[in-house]
Amino acid sequence: MDSILVRGNGPLSGDIPIAGAKNACLTLMPATLLSDEPLTLTNAPRLSDIKTMTALLASLGAEVTSLQDGKVLAMSCHNDINPHADYEIVRKMRASNLVLGPLLARLGHAVVSLPGGCAIGARPMDIHIDALAALGADIELKEGYLHAKAKGGKLKGAVHEMRFASVGATENFVMAATLAKGTSVLKNAAKEPEIVDLVRCLRAMGAQIEGEGTATITIEGVDRLHGATHPVVTDRIELGTFMLAPAICGGTVTCLGGKMDLVAAFAEKLDAAGISVTEDARGLTVSRKNGRVKAVDVKTEIFPGFPTDLQAQMMALLCTAQGTSVLEETIFENRFMHAPELIRMGANIEVHGGHATVHGVERLKGARVMATDLRASVSLILAGLAAEGETVVSRVYHLDRGYERVEEKFSGVGAHIERIKE
C-alpha cells in the first residue's frame, strides 16, 4: 500500500497550478445523462473519483473518453440508458447519488443504490428525496436501493424549500427540473461555486435557469437539452490547501488560476493569522507576513462561509500558531478524526463534540500517522512539512480521490515529499 513520506524543510518558493474542481466535475459529468448529444468538459481534474464516476456512467450506457492526459472528458449518452446504478460502483463515492435526478428527468424512473464515501458523517439522502418528490417522484427504499418513478412518467415543475441548503440536493433538483414540465423554484438553495458552474454548463446545453449563487433558483423546464463544451471551474479546496503550504513553511507561492472570490472567507482568516494573500491575473500569491502565525478562531459554514473541506488543513496551520485557537465544525460530525494523528506529531489539541481547541506549540515532530479521510490526509502532509524530521502518512488512497499529483505540486515549490511503497 502506498504511503507519503514528508521531510520537514524550510521556505517554499514557486508556482503551483490548481486543477479543475473535483466536486464540480463530479456534478457536471452526470449532466451528460440529460442529453443525447455530446457533452465535453475541459480543465477536468485527474483523480480516482473521476474514474469512479466514469465507470458509473459507463454502466448506465454513457460513453466517456478521456483526452489530453485526462484534462478533457468527452461524453455522450445517445444509446439506450440503463436506469440501474449498482451498489458495487455507487458505494465507492458519495457523489454517485447525482445520477438520480438526471435519470428521473430523462427516463422517468431510476434505481440507484445508497452511496458511500468518506466516513465524516451521515450525510443523509432524505433532503434529496424530498426535493425530487416535490417534482412528482415516488421514491421507495428497498434493500439498499432507491426505487424512483415520476408520476405519469414525467417530472413536473414545483416550488420546494429545503430544510438545509444541501449542495448535492440542490444539484439533483436543478438537473431534474431542467426537463420537468413547467416552472420549478428551489428555495434555500446552496450557493457554492460548484452549483454556479453546473448552472452555466446546463445553460450552455439549452436549460433555462436563473438565480444561481443565490438562495432561490428558478428553472423553466425545456423539452430537450443539446450538447456543449464547458470548462470546469478552479478547485477552491485544492486552492485553499496549497495556499496553506507557504503559510506553514514560510516563503512565497503563487497558486496559478486561483481567484479570491472562491476562497474569500478562508483568505480573511489567513489575513488575521498573519498571512498575506494578493491576487493578480496569474492567480493568488501567498506568503507569511512576518514571524510566527497568530492563533485565530474558525467556524465552518455553508458557502460563502469558511469551508468544512478546509477545516483539517487549517488545523494543521494553527498547531504551531502563537496562542490558542478554537475550531467549530458545524457541517459534519466526525470531522476531527485527524486531531489524534496531529497529536502524535506533538500538537496540543482538545476535542469536545463539535469544537476543537488548539494550543499552538513551537514545533511539530515527524511521526507515523494515518489518514482517516480525504481532507485529513492532506492536513497531515501539511503538518509534516512544518515538522522536525520525517513524517510517514499511510492510507493515502483517500488523497488520490481529491488531489491531483500532490507530490509533484509540492515538490515543484521545494517541498521534500515522495510516495513510497510499504
Per-residue model confidence as pLDDT tens for the chain (422 residues): 899 999 998 899 999 999 999 999 999 999 999 999 999 999 999 999 999 999 999 999 999 999 999 999 999 998 889 999 999 998 888 889 999 999 999 999 999 998 754 443 445 689 999 999 999 999 998 888 999 999 999 999 999 999 999 999 999 999 999 999 999 999 999 999 999 999 999 999 999 999 999 999 999 999 999 999 999 999 999 999 999 999 999 999 999 999 999 999 999 999 999 999 999 999 999 999 888 999 999 999 999 999 999 999 999 999 999 999 999 999 877 789 999 999 999 999 999 999 999 999 999 999 999 998 888 899 999 999 989 999 999 998 888 888 889 999 999 999 999 999 98
Ligand-binding site membership of 405 (annotated): no
Give the list of residues 6+ apart from residue 280 with CB closer than 8 angstroms, or none.
none
Q: Return the residue matching grid coordinates 478546509.
A: 310
d(CA 419, CA 400): 12
Determine phi and psi for 4, rounding to 5 degrees: -115, 125
Give the C-alpha separation, 36 to 77, whole Å: 5
261 in a known ligand binding site? no
What amino acid occupies position 59? S
Q: What is the CATH number of domain 2-19+234-421?
A: 3.65.10.10
Find out if CATH 1.10.10.10 is the number for domain 22-231: no
The pLDDT, as a whole number, for residue 116 is: 55
Under 8 Å between Cβ of 24 and 50: no
Element (H, E) at 183: strand 183-187
Catalytic residue among 118, 201, 249, 319: 118
Answer yes or no: is 309 a known binding residue.
yes
118 assigned to active site: yes
Contacts of 184 (CB under 8 A, 6+ apart): 135, 157, 158, 159, 160, 173, 177, 218, 219, 221
Q: Which residue matches cell numbers 436549460?
A: 207
Q: What is each CA distance from 368 to 273, 317, 344, 395, in whole angstroms?
A: 28, 19, 8, 11
Look at residue 124 in the predicted model and tell me its pLDDT: 66
Is there a cis peptide before residue 340, judged by omega within 30 degrees of 0?
no
State whether residue 320 is helix, strand or coil.
coil
* Residues forming CATH 3.65.10.10 domain(s) in the chain: 2-19+234-421, 22-231
User: β-strand 183-187 against 159-161: which pairing, if any?
Assistant: parallel
Measure the CA–CA gap between 410 and 420, rounded to whole angstroms: 15
- Secondary structure E strands in 200-359: 208-210, 216-220, 228-231, 251-256, 275-280, 283-288, 298-299, 324-328, 348-352, 355-359
The pLDDT value recorded for residue 272 is 97
Beta-strand pair 2-7/416-421 = antiparallel
Q: How far apart are CA 33 and CA 98, in angstroms?
A: 11
- Residues 101 and 84: their CA atoms lie apart, in Å, by 13
Q: Which helix (H) or strand (E) holds 149?
A: strand 145-150
